[in-house]
């Protein structure tokens, strides 16, 4: 298990810490890093560039919630197959195989989700163009335990995707999520590297009460 202990320290302390000054490492880091609040509350967008990301010594992703602006999240923890990204105001997103499986710091948090493991990897290796299965999601407020959703996963072909001036050729997946009892039906998308099954970009709706979440990986973690 690898941890980036820096992220666990409050941002006020970071700014005053002389022994580990991220502003010296990446002068514009704090503006982008704290902007996750902008993603949620609609603050002014901050330009996230390749130079900015390359000067930060941690894996990162750019994330946008609903119609808000984009914010930069930093990899806090790596455990087995899950990756935890965090903002300066302690909003966390836990990803596993590119899917958001847990959140904290939002108004309605995804506590856990039960689904088949390695669904993208197994699907890419198969000869099928479409598969279906069920997931069970638990949320904290309002409390909802094991909400069942039918998942229909479909391959849409290969696309050229550009992230911060770098081009990737990725397999695009469409994921339809449906709960007929709640009248909730959304379409998610994932862009995946067929060589190592890494998800570089995604558009996901993880809750009937949250806007759509878009993210793209700006610096890939060591897997």
**Position 124 confidence tier, pLDDT thresholds 50, 70, 90:** confident
160 contact partners, CB below 8 Å, separation of at least 6: 167, 168, 169
pLDDT of 45 = 56
pLDDT digits (tens, 9 = 90+) for 87-109: 877 889 999 999 999 999 888 89
Compute how many other C-beta atoms are within 10 angstroms of the C-beta atom of residue 122.
Answer: 13
Query: Residue 204 in contact with residue 213, Cβ under 8 Å?
Result: yes
Query: Which contacts qualify for 45-50: CB closer than 8 Å, 24 or more apart?
Result: 45/69, 45/70, 46/70, 46/71, 46/72, 48/72, 48/164, 48/218, 49/164, 50/164, 50/165, 50/166
* Residue 71 dihedral angles phi and psi, to the nearest 5°: -125, 160
pLDDT of 29 = 46
- pLDDT: which is higher, 10 or 153: 153
At residue 18, does pLDDT exceed 60?
no
Compute the mean pLDDT over every residue in the chain, rounded to the nearest whole number: 79
Nearest Cα to Cα of residue 202 among 49, 103, 107, 98 = 98
**Position 113 confidence tier, pLDDT thresholds 50, 70, 90:** very high
pLDDT of 46 = 65
Q: Token match 């989700």: residue? A: 113
Superfamily of domain 2-219, CATH level 4: YmcC-like (2.40.360.10)
């Amino acid at each position: 298990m690898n941890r980036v202990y820096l992220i666990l320290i409050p941002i006020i302390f970071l700014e005053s810490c002389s022994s580990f000054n991220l502003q010296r490492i990446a002068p514009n880091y704090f503006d982008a890093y704290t902007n996750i609040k902008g993603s949620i509350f609609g603050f002014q967008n901050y330009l996230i560039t390749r130079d900015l990301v390359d000067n930060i010594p941690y894996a990162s992703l750019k994330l946008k919630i609903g119609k808000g602006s984009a914010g930069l999240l930093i990899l806090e923890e790596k455990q087995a197959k899950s990756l935890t990204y965090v903002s300066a105001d302690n909003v966390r997103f836990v990803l596993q195989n590119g899917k958001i499986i847990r959140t904290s710091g939002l108004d309605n948090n995804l506590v856990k989700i039960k689904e088949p493991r390695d669904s993208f990897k197994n699907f890419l290796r198969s000869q099928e163009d479409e598969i279906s299965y069920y997931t069970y999601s638990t949320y904290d407020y309002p409390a909802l335990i094991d909400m069942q959703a039918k998942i229909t996963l479909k391959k849409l072909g290969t696309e050229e995707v550009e992230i911060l001036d770098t081009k990737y050729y990725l397999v695009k997946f469409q994921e339809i999520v449906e709960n007929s009892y709640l009248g909730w039906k959304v379409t998610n998308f994932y862009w995946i590297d067929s060589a190592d099954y890494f998800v570089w970009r995604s558009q996901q709706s993880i809750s009937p009460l949250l806007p759509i979440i878009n993210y793209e990986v700006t610096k890939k973690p060591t897997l």
